[in-house]
Structures are given as structure tokens and as C-alpha cells.
Amino acid sequence: MTSQTNAVAEAPRQTGMLRPALTIFIVLSAVTGLLYPGVVTSIARAVFPHQAAGSLIVKDGKTVGSELIGQPFSDPKYFWGRLSATAPMPYNGTASGGSNLGPTNPALTDAAKARIDALREADPENKDPVPVDLVTASGSGLDPHISPAAARYQAARVARLRGVPLDKVDALIAANTEGPGLAVFGEPAVNVLKLNLALDGLK
């Protein structure tokens, strides 16, 4: 009898504890899931509209890519970007990640050798050392940039195959070279997609 009485008395207490917990859950869900993202998105769209929209690159009224995600180029008439280890295709934005291959893994060496062979085959006259970023993938697999040295390494090949003066290609590389973030963070880099689009715009 006593246990039944205690159970009946405990029920209102549990109900009283459930109500504030449920209220807190609903309020926090609204604040963190709706209000905060909405405010941050609105501020971003007002202050940084291009970046908030995905830093999209538009050509002739069509979206051709993003400044933040690389694209695979294999035609020798274009500049090539870094290798990408994303699956099932290179530069897959939904599967960002590296190969996680260790420095002693033969697969890593084979991938680098395959890229070196491809670069040599595309430009047999170029005997310069291949810049390291042309034969390695970034940690994200989405890096849209290469170093200015990697761009200059390919400049003669691109100029020759397109039949344009080398100085014009060098000028495009310079025009599409981005400085370090806030002038101090990182190294200068060249956006491959923007550079290739500029190439296509040459007369």
C-alpha cells in the first residue's frame, strides 16, 4: 500500500520535471537550429554575397564552377591542377578527403610517377623538375589552386599548343595569382579554373 502511494505521489513530480526540460529543448532547438543560422546567413549574404552563395564562377550566364573547388583537366591545352583522391571521381565535393596513404606506401609513389609521366609525355621538351604540388593531392582533394611555379612549369606547353605568345600566358598567370590571405597567411597561389577560363578568352 505504501509503495503504491509513493508511486502516485512521484508521478506529478516527474511530470513537473518533464515540462521545463521539454521547454528548454524546444527553445534551444529554435535558437540554434533556426534563429542563429538565419541571422548568420543573412549577415553573410549582406556583407559577403559572393562568398555566401558559394563563390560561384559564371561565364556567359552559366555557372561553370566554384572558386573553392577544383576541376579535373587532362587536355594539354589547359593548365592541370593538383591530383585528387576523392571517390568515385576527382574533386567530388560530397566526398572531400585525402588518400591517407603513408609516405612508404607504393600506391602513393605510383600515383606521383603516373602524373610525372603524363606531364613529360605532354611536354617532352620540358626537362625542368616537376613542382611537388603537381604530383600530390591536397588533404581535402578539392584544392582549386596550384603554386605559381606549377603554373609556370606548364606555361610553355600551353602557349605552344594554343599557338599564343608565351608572354601572354605568363601575363594570365600573373593576373590570376592570388596573394596570401590578409597578406600574411599562406603562399601565393593560382586558381586553375579561373586561369583556364582566361585562356579560353584569349583571341
Banded pLDDT at 98 (limits 50, 70, 90): confident
Residues 91 and 65 in one domain: yes
Domain count within the chain: 2
Range of the domain at 117: 55-200
Q: What is the mean pLDDT of the chain?
A: 89
Q: pLDDT tens, 149-163? A: 999 999 999 999 999
Is the pTM for the entire model greater than 0.85?
Answer: no
Residues 45 and 59 in one domain: no
Confirm if 187 and 147 have CB atoms less than 8 A apart: yes
Q: pLDDT tens, 100-116? A: 888 899 999 999 999 99
Distance, CA of 177 to CA of 179 (rounded, Å): 7
Residues 9 and 79 in one domain: no
Distance, CA of 89 to CA of 95 (rounded, Å): 9
Residues 41 and 130 in one domain: no
Q: pLDDT tens, 46-95? A: 888 888 888 999 988 899 999 999 999 999 999 999 999 998 999 998 99
Confirm if 28 and 35 have CB atoms less than 8 A apart: no
Residues 88 and 188 in one domain: yes
